[in-house]
Amino acid sequence: MAQILTKSTEHHRNAQLPSLNFHVAELPGLGTKDVLVKFLAAPINPLDVLVLANLYPVKPQHHHANEAIPGYDGIGEVMDCGAGVTELVPGDLVIPSKFGIGTWRTQAVVDVQYLQKVIRPHDFAFAAIIKISIAPAFCLVEDMCNLKPGDWIIQNAATSVVAQMVVQFARRRGIHTIGVIRDRSAGEADVVKQSLRGIGSDIVVLESEVTGHAEIRSKRIMLALDSVFGTSGRVLVKSLSPGGTFVQLGFLGGPTGKLELDANDIFGRQLTLKAFRGSAQVASRSAEEQTDLFNWFISLFNTGELNLPRLGLERVRWDAADKRGSEERLMEAVKRAQQGKLGQRKQIIEFM
């Protein structure tokens, strides 16, 4: 029997976002090209929140009881394979090869085309965030512009997992980073700044400190990564050096915000503006290239050259033997993700 979270087709009276339903169901039999997967870990990403709110263009591909199964990232173990599956064997570890697989469930029978084999990490949480957090961070550093050792990146939402991975990939190439965090109390800001410097961020400032910051103005900032949009994004635009690249990758400030530009940004400073969607950027590489890249990430993690986010993860236990307790923990975890409060850490579902 599998336990499954689905996106309800109904809405709570006092909530804008769809509710979730918890199911216990029998698994279907294996088809020729099917694989039985036991999930080991799956994150609750901002992308998942957008999916629940019907705001993400890529829809879930798997359903139960006519309701979509959320969860676009994660890692699982192959338990059994259909007669026509030659790519995988029981005991292999796999991550989704395509979005929409539905990882918020204890077990699943899926077509082998939806799975990608990876090597074993010493913490499943790392592999669970490869597709939506780690690989996009790598692509931001490698693909958005021609960065050289000594160049600087400035990024807001610096406490996010993607931003923390950007710092680590940039540091490997001799590229410096400036992290911009939301305004908060002095004591809390000091803790966050110290943590981000600990993973290699050279400068960490509050949003209100960026404008007029003498040290930032003296740097050759060639890449700005904006996850917020609006006023916060404008601060990054103003921080770029001539010839720099501004990349829009998120709308934490709300999708209805506006990014102000003036003639000097485009014609005077010759800035380049780009939009970034991690799934599309990763998909520009072949399946073989992706597998090699993901395994390289895990190898770096296993040897201590890459680390999980310094600000920590919040692990949410899904114990199949404790249905009621697991359901309560999962519902609360998704609710926290939907609220998006200041200081909320990345949540990882760990299956027991």
Give the tens place of pLDDT for each residue, 118-176.
999 999 999 999 999 999 999 999 999 999 999 999 999 999 999 999 999 999 999 99
DSSP characters over 280-314: HHHHTS-HHHHHHHHHHHHHHHHTTSS-S-TT-EE
CB count within 10 Å of CB 117 equals 16
Look-up of token digits 């975890």:
333
Per-residue pLDDT, 180: 96
Per-residue pLDDT, 255: 66
Q: Which tokens belong to 145? A: 């512009």
pTM: 0.92
Q: Which tokens belong to 107? A: 């077990």
The residues that bridge with 245 in the sheet, in sequence order, are 223, 272
> CB of 259 within 8 A of CB of 248?
yes
Task: Please give the mean pLDDT across all residues of the chain.
Answer: 92
Per-residue pLDDT, 13: 46
- Which pLDDT band holds residue 204 (cuts at 50, 70, 90)? very high
Residue whose C-alpha is closest to residue 213's, from 247, 238, 245 = 238
- Annotated catalytic sites, by residue? 56
Q: Hey, is 121 helix, strand or coil?
A: coil
Measured distance CA(265)–CA(299) in Å, rounded: 41
- Which pLDDT band holds residue 14 (cuts at 50, 70, 90)? very low
The residues that bridge with 68 in the sheet, in sequence order, are 7, 63
52 or 204, which is more confident: 204
Per-residue pLDDT, 11: 57
The yes-or-no verdict on residue 272 having pLDDT over 80 is yes
Q: What is the largest CA-CA distance in the chain?
A: 65
Measured distance CA(167)–CA(109) in Å, rounded: 37
Alpha helices of the chain — where are they, by DSSP H?
46-52, 124-128, 135-143, 161-172, 186-198, 207-210, 214-217, 230-239, 263, 278-283, 287-302, 323-339
The yes-or-no verdict on residue 17 having pLDDT over 50 is no
